[in-house]
Amino acid sequence: MGGERVPPRICPGCGRSTKQTRVFLDQRFCDACWARRRRATQTCPGCGQTKVLAFYDEHQRPACTSCTGNTSSFGCNNCGREDNVFGACCATCTLADRLTTLLADTTSRVHPQLQPVYDALLAGPRPQTTLYWLTRRSARPDILVMMARGEIAISHTAFYDLPCNRNVNYVRDLLTATGVLPPYQPLVARIPSWLRALLDAEPKHRADLVHRFARWHALRRLHMLGDRVTRGSVLQARNAILSTIKFLTWLDDHDTELADLTQAMLDDYLLAHPGHAAMLRPFIEWTARTALTSELELPKQPTTQPEVMLSDEQRWDHVETLIHDNTIHLYARIGGLFMLLFAQPVARICRMRANQITIDSDIVTVTFDTEPIELPAPLDQLVRDHLNRPGWASYVSRPNTWLFPGGVPGKHLTTETMRSRLVSRGIHPNHARKAALFQLAATMPVPVLADLLGLDPNTAVRWAALSARDWGQYTAIRRETDMPS
């Protein structure tokens, strides 16, 4: 081409003037319009294969390069297929290449033990998505790299030293699902790393005792349950461990050795910590059995807390999804959280006015009735983002603006729109609005709450503090507006 000057022309695809053009079906398109056409592969009428149909055949039908005797290639540099383009190669070839690099042992070949992972990831339905997953640092494919290079063992034990979070857990589940690691009970297997992080913050004498209790009682019981382990039984075990730490801290604060614990002291503790007897029972029974304490009596009372958590587990899962999943429309995330956390009916949420939200420097509050409620992170940020979205600033200055404006000017979002968005994520407003989850959060130890919501413990502390308020009036509102919506 050299110094040849190409005059700008109008792209027939987008109507913009462009200098760079490429031919597709005898028309000259801009790069972007050409690339879009190049990606839209179809069945070629000549050879029946999935191809880029960029040329006309003798019957004036769009057909593929080879059926029309052309030479320009749209194929993958490696395998020749024309669909699924990803740079110079197809996504599958690119993925095969990346996986080989990722899972290579010291001989630059895929580590034989990790071959099933290679096969499973390559056979996935969407290689582009897998490629994207591999490039995210937070996704932790580095664990696989370290295993391939022999820097960490390919075993469940390796995970004891890794943080317990969803990305690490995903890699572990992947290794198990592909048969590289033997099956395990994920909920139980994650306890050791959780416990270690917890005990790191405790003085040694306390950490040692809790560790013994966890190992010889709480974890052992879970292992004995085998396949019958539920999330509820794991939460109970964790609660027993957390309550034990709390109780031992109290004993230390009262300069009392465990061996000197009297019935009167235990009664005092339970009086000052109502609702803790059930969670503390496993520890007290264990210490009595192992003669660490004398025989002590615990009041018989129904174990309400774990039951509450079990029945509401699904709803907490929904809260977690709405907090973190940014593929859900922002209004549906906010509406769904208002519904689950504050037990507000969907119809009432859709009718909310923008002035029910107040943003005062770094505090965001919502008022459902008379009392403003401070929104904890990250819910406050979701509301901020909702109010800061483009085009909203001029709109919000008008009085009586809806918080969730609908498609029709002057109307709020319909209940059905909000409801269908939530239902599409498995959140059914009729089932969901049993009670304000915030109220229940008050009965939950902060680390359990943090774990349920996938939040940092410091953030969960704020959730727990908020939930400790008086919820009587919200229950009243709920009853009054509890009509089918």
Nearer to Zn ion, 93 or 413 (CB): 93
Under the binding rule (CB under 5 A), the answer on residue 10 touching Zn ion is no
Binding range to Zn ion, per CB under 5 A, among 87-95, 227-235, 263-271, 316-324? 87-95
Shortest Å, Cβ 1 to Zn ion: 20
Q: DSSP string spanning 210-245?
A: HHHHIIIIIHHHHHHHGGG--HHHHHHHHHHHHHHH
Residue 23 lies near Zn ion (rule: CB under 5 A): no
| Least CB distance to Zn ion at residue 37 (A) | 10
Does residue 33 touch Zn ion according to CB under 5 A?
A: yes
> Taken in order 62, 68, 73, 75, is the CA torsion positive or negative?
positive
Counting other chains too, the contacts that 44-49 makes at CB distance below 8 Å and 24 or more residues apart are: none
Q: Does 45 bind Zn ion (CB under 5 A)?
A: no
Report the alpha-carbon distance of residue 29 to residue 81 in Å, rounded.
Answer: 23
CB of 51 to Zn ion, least distance (A): 5
By the rule CB under 5 A, 30 interacts with Zn ion: yes
Decide: is 91 part of the binding site for Zn ion (CB under 5 A). no
Q: In the complex, what is the shortest distance from the CB of residue 279 to Zn ion, in angstroms, rounded to a whole number?
A: 57
99 makes contact with Zn ion (CB under 5 A): no
Stretch that binds Zn ion, among 90-98, 194-202, 236-244, 457-465 (CB under 5 A): 90-98
Backbone angles phi and psi of 302, in degrees to 5: -65, 140
User: Between the CA of residue 151 and those of 94, 99, 146, 164, 422, what are the distances in Å?
Assistant: 26, 18, 5, 19, 44
| Window of 12-20, 106-114, 374-382, 410-418 that interacts with Zn ion by CB under 5 A | 12-20
Residue appearing with tokens 């109008």: 10
Kindly state the smallest distance separating residue 122's Cβ from Zn ion, in Å: 12
> What whole-number distance in Å separates Cα of residue 190 and Cα of residue 207?
18
Q: Which stretch binds Zn ion (CB under 5 A): 78-86, 228-236, 457-465, 469-477?
A: 78-86
CB 118 within 8 A of CB 129: no
Matching residue, tokens 């110079």: 88
For Zn ion, the closer of residues 94 and 287 by Cβ is: 94
Stretch that binds Zn ion, among 70-78, 103-111, 230-238, 376-384 (CB under 5 A): 70-78
Q: Pinpoint the alpha helices (H) of 43-114.
A: 91-102
Among 53, 64, 340, 448, binds Zn ion (CB under 5 A): 64
The correct pick among 90, 229, 354, 436 for binding Zn ion (CB under 5 A) is 90
Residue 320: closest CA among 237, 231, 195: 231
List the one residue from 41, 44, 341, 343 that touches Zn ion (CB under 5 A): 44
Residue 230: CB atoms within 10 A of its CB come to: 12
Q: Is 319 an interacting residue with respect to Zn ion (CB under 5 A)? A: no
**Candidates 91-99, 135-143, 307-315, 402-410; binding stretch for Zn ion (CB under 5 A):** 91-99
Enter the tokens of residue 433: 């609005």
Minimum distance between the CB of residue 114 and Zn ion, rounded to whole angstroms? 22
Query: How far apart, in whole angstroms, are the C-alpha atoms of residue 146 and residue 151?
Result: 5
Which residue from 253, 152, 235 is spatially nearest to 187, judged by alpha carbons? 235
Q: How many CA atoms lie within 13 A of 277 on its CB side?
A: 17
Tell me the C-alpha distance between 213 and 376, whole Å. 35
Stretch that binds Zn ion, among 25-33, 52-60, 241-249, 301-309 (CB under 5 A): 25-33
Lookup: tokens for 52:
């880029």
Query: Which of residues 78 and 113 has its CB atom nearest to Zn ion in the complex?
Result: 78
| Residue 278 binds Zn ion (CB under 5 A) | no
Task: Confirm or reject binding of residue 67 to Zn ion (CB under 5 A).
Answer: yes
Q: Does 406 bind Zn ion (CB under 5 A)?
A: no
Q: Nearest distance from residue 38's CB to Zn ion, in Å?
A: 13
The angle formed by the CA atoms of residues 65, 68 and 71, to the nearest 5 degrees, is 45
Q: Which residue has the tokens 């308020």?
A: 469
Residue from 69, 31, 75, 66 nearest 48 by CA:
66
CA 115 – CA 273 distance, rounded (Å): 53
Q: SS3 breakdown of the chain: % helix, strand, coil, rounded to 5? A: 55, 10, 40
Candidates 8-16, 136-144, 184-192, 377-385; binding stretch for Zn ion (CB under 5 A): 8-16
**d(C-alpha 57, C-alpha 161), whole Å:** 62
In the list 23, 47, 197, 423, the residue contacting Zn ion (rule: CB under 5 A) is 47
> Which listed residue (42, 50, 78, 193) binds Zn ion by CB under 5 A?
78
Minimum Å gap between C-beta 80 and Zn ion is 7
Q: Applying CB under 5 A, which of residues 6, 40, 79, 88 lies at the interface with Zn ion?
A: 79
Give the residues lining the site for Zn ion (CB under 5 A): 11, 13-14, 30, 33, 44, 46-47, 64, 67, 76, 78-79, 89-90, 93
